[in-house]
Amino acid sequence: MKKIIIFFCFLFISFYVYADNFNYKININYPITDYKKLNLLTDQKINYYQKLFFKEIKNITFWNEYTLFINYDGYNYNNIISYVFFIEYFTGGAHPNHDIFTFNYDLMNDKFIDSVYNLDKISKYARSNLIKDKRIVNTGMLFEGTKPTNDNFKNFVFTENGYLFYFKRYQIAPYSSGDISLVIPYKIEKKD
């Protein structure tokens, strides 16, 4: 009887250790720059997603594998460094969750740029171009997700061709459509 109890204790401990160490995968890539403010803000956001992930998997089960992946793309335009971060995390459910955030750092003025001007014009341009995208299957979602608000147009980077706006899943189309982005030329913002 002692052997059976010891065997089950060993088996339980083995499963517990396995679940504690192997039931999640984390892969985080992010830039380290020469700019303290930019590094600090990046660290804060990355830490936020790590804490959120570990909070979500607190009650981990042996049968699920949980994941957190963070990647980024970087852009340089004039004196502005821009980054877009792509977050994918699975903590149970039908599919992974996705999020996007961006940073635009003005080197000359040592400050972040987090909004654009003339949202009415940008919204109109976005709607007229995105409606042509075959992934847009619900115009109600499109019009709601492109209303001229800072929240709808907060995820953007500066590129050589214009602002590159990123729209989160469910913002302008169903989850299955994926992340959608659109370049809006700088001249659109300036037109009167």
- The pTM for the full model equals 0.84
pLDDT tier at 1, thresholds 50, 70, 90: low
Per-residue pLDDT of 83-133, as tens digits, reads 999 999 998 888 899 999 999 999 999 999 999 999 999 999 999 999 999
Report which of residues 188 and 154 the model is more confident about: 154
The dihedrals phi and psi of 151, each to the nearest 5 degrees, come to -65, -40
Per-residue pLDDT of 10-42, as tens digits, reads 444 444 444 444 588 999 999 999 999 999 999
Of the candidates 159, 186, 38, 165, the residue with the CA atom closest to the CA atom of residue 107: 38
